[in-house]
Amino acid sequence: MKRVPAEFLKRIPKADLHVHLDGSLRLSTLIELAQKEGVELPAYTEKGLRQTVFKDKYASLVEYLKGFSYTGAVMQSAENIERVAYELGQDAVAEGVRYLEVRFAPQLHAGDKLTAQDAVRAVVRGLERAKKEHNASAAVKKDEDLEFHFGVIACAMRNFNQFMSPYYSTLIKALSQSNKSEIFGIASLELAKMVVKLAKEEKLPVVGFDLAGEEAGYPAADHLDAYRYVHKHFIRKTVHSGEAYGPESIFQAITDCYANRLGHGTHLFAAAMIKDKKVKDKEGYVNSLADYIASERIGIEVCLTSNLQTLPEIKSVKDHPIKEMIKRGLPVSINTDNRLVSNTTVTKEMELLVRNVPLSPKELKNIVIAGFKSGFFPGSYVEKRRFVRKVIDRYNTLAKEYGVPLY
């Protein structure tokens, strides 16, 4: 396939299914809010923060996560959260994203002045403002551009401590006689019930439930009650899995958590990481798992830059397992993970892909469309299909304009 024009990648409709709100602030907004809220930063210029915190390369996952302590600190009010969500919606729209699923952990923002429910409502308000602005534009009204849609995904945490938020501190004190696994499970079940209430009673576009945090040592099994609860109420599920742990974590996400999508899935093919002694044929296990994911169309949310920054064993995109995922027909989507922390956009991620992975025209188109098909669209199935059809038509029109083959 010949070189794909950068402008084509920017203009085609794109989806971002895996993007963390607290990892995607504008640097200028972080500085302004920090000064307003009295949050101390290592620097108060964008250049200074890029040099000290939000780098292009990180020495470790610990260094990568350091920036979240600053972003989270300025997102403890509904006003600030709404602003961050609004600006994220604006930034996504500006680079051609037409479907956005924003995920965050509401309990990280809950305290004396803000409930977890109000944190979610603030995110919805911010994204709704960005949606209305774009959808009222002349280009959309003339059918020269697509409408923008969004959904919100609530994240439970695999593990937490009393220092991460007032909510977690209060919960840990109240359950001081319980073990950690029980406390983690209680928090996620409470979040699950909140998600169902917001989605079903308040009719908010809260479209999914996620599990984030450290995989190794903190199994999804601690959160089964939460996943069973949302599953029974028709809330779609995704799980951070296979990012820092092996195929067994992915297997558990699918079989125990009913995952409709997988966050990262990077170590899907890492047979050597399987620890269960009952698994004698590790390669066979991996092959069966990959075939199941492909046949059931369980989406994989790939975040290339983020993986390169946090997984030292992946030296370049050429070493990333996305090549094998595509080869096996898995429904892969390209996502940002954290726009600020990883200094990226969906357009940049698409450019990374096409510049480093040999793709046929059909494979490129399938990956773009997979982002929309795998989305937990906040509407009926018929409405979602109608929207995806518009996405395909728009892609075909731009492909013709830029001389990009379709097959």
Catalytic residue annotation: 243
Residue 47 CA to residue 43 CA, distance in Å, equals 8
Helix, coil or strand: residue 321: coil
E strand or H helix that includes residue 207: strand 206-212
How buried is residue 56: exposed, middle or buried, by Cβ count under 10 Å (0-12/13-18/19+)? exposed
Q: Count other C-beta atoms under 10 Å from residue 369's C-beta.
A: 18
How buried is residue 358: exposed, middle or buried, by Cβ count under 10 Å (0-12/13-18/19+)? exposed
How buried is residue 314: exposed, middle or buried, by Cβ count under 10 Å (0-12/13-18/19+)? middle
Residue 338 CA to residue 336 CA, distance in Å, equals 6
Helix, coil or strand: residue 345: coil
Distances (CA, A) of 341 to 23, 159, 270: 6, 21, 26
Q: Report which residue type is found at 139.
A: A
Work out the angle at residue 156's Cα, subtended by the Cα atoms of residues 64 and 79, and round it to the nearest 5 degrees: 75
Residue 147 CA to residue 100 CA, distance in Å, equals 12
Q: Could you tell me which residues come within 8 angstroms of residue 211 by beta carbon, excluding any fewer than 6 positions away?
A: 155, 156, 157, 158, 188, 220, 223, 227, 239, 240, 253, 257
Distances (CA, A) of 169 to 28, 107, 111, 192, 241: 31, 11, 10, 19, 26
Q: What is the DSSP string of 78-130?
A: HHHHHHHHHHHHHHHHHTTEEEEEEEE-GGGS-SSS--HHHHHHHHHHHHHHH
Q: Count other C-beta atoms under 10 Å from residue 66's C-beta.
A: 17
Q: Which of 209, 212, 292, 213 is nearest to 247 (CA)?
A: 292
Q: Which of 217, 211, 222, 224 is nearest to 181 (CA)?
A: 222
